Structures are given as C-alpha cells and as structure tokens.
Amino acid sequence: MKFSERARELSKQFWEESHKHPFVTGLADGSLSEESFRYYLIQDGYYLIHFSRLFGEIADRAESNEVKDIMFKNKEDLEAGEIAVREEFFKEKNITDEEFDNTEIAPTADHYIAHMYRQIVESEDYIGVAVAGMLPCPWLYQDIGAELIKHQSPVPIYQSWIDTYVTDEFNNLTERHIELCDKLYDKANDDQKERMLNAFFMSVRFEYLFFDMAYKQEEWIKL
C-alpha cells in the first residue's frame, strides 16, 4: 500500500471531521461569523509565514534534487499565491500590520508550527519525515476546496478563500507533493515509514484543531 493510501486511512476520522466542522461548512453556506474568519486570517497569517520557511528549510537540508525542487516550488507558490491572497483579505478586513504584530499567537497555531519544526530536527536521518508532516495542509485544503466549490458561498470573501484551493497550479503542486511522499516512503526503512505516518497523522489532527481554534477564537488561559 502506498504512503498516501495508508496515511489517509490512518487519519480518516480527523480528515472527515474537518470537512464537517462548522468553520468549514460555515464558509460554504455563509453562516461563519465575521469575527471567527477575521481571527482565522490573523492566526493563519502567522502560520503561513512559518509554513513558507519550513518548505525552504527542508529544501536546504535535502540531498535529493527532486525534494529540493518540489519544496522550493511549494515555497514560491505559497508566497505568490496564498500569502498574497491573504494580504488582500487583510486589507478588506482592515487588519493592520500593527494589529497583526500585536495579536498573541493562539496555542493551537503555536503548537502546530512547533510540531512541524520538530519533524525537521528529528528527520536528520531521513528527510521524508519532514516532507510527510507538511503534506496535510495543502492536501486537506485541496480536498475541502474541491467539495466547497460545488456550492457558491453567499459571502464573497468566503468564496474567494474557497477559490484559492481549486486552481490548477495549487492542484498540480499538491499532487507532486503526494507523489513525492509515496516515493520517499518506498525508499524508507520500517522505522522511517512509521515516523512518516506519525508526522502526517499529527498534522492532520492539528488541521482539525486549527479550524476549531478559529471557530472558537481560542485564547491562552489567563491566570
């Protein structure tokens, strides 16, 4: 069984629950509150900055030219695509640089980023572990986008968010990332294969928690 097949089966519950989460369904039917979406944009802005850095870090550490190429291309596309679109969303929602810089990073966003940096540190013997930990974000969003595009959101900015994840460029890069994980998994030993699956599964769980974090506008406990 390929990595992509095993990984999806392992994470099936959290994957499917992400599709059903009220944050996601609220984007499609327009019921998501403006406050939750605005909160999401700020937290996701922080996340995407680090996600881009992570692609670059993996590319720098990789020995394989194929891994380098795909990771660098993902970094470039992220900066030209998602991050650029988010800047337009910031303008529409009047999110200033000052507000962004002064907003505390939520626990879930912070922990998700820390998880992926940890995969880089712990994958010195096999870069495939870090590559696998990065896959759920584009793959799940591609899957959600393909479902939500069947419906027209009554809220224009929510529809713009959905449209971001159904472009040919985004789909092609995601498919290359999936195929790369399958190849790396085939070359891995049993321990490395298990770690690749664990890294993927943990990231899928964090994706679900990220939607939940935004929906509830999560905060740190105040004593």
pLDDT tens track for 67-98: 999 999 999 988 887 777 888 899 999 999 99
How high does pLDDT run on average in the chain? 95
Q: How big is the chain, counted in residues? A: 223
| Spatial distance between the Cα atoms of 205 and 202, rounded to a whole number of angstroms | 5
**Which of the residues are catalytic?**
137, 207
**Mean pLDDT, residues 120-128 taken together:** 89
Supply the pLDDT for residue 86: 85
Supply the pLDDT for residue 135: 98
**Mean pLDDT, residues 195-214 taken together:** 98
* pTM for this entry: 0.95
- Max Cα separation, the chain? 50
Supply the pLDDT for residue 145: 97
pLDDT of 23-74, one tens digit each? 999 999 999 999 999 999 999 999 999 999 999 999 999 999 999 999 999 9
Structure tokens at 97: 């640089």
| Spatial distance between the Cα atoms of 146 and 140, rounded to a whole number of angstroms | 10
The full 3-state SS of 110-126, as one line of letters, equals: HHHHHHHHHHHHCCCCC
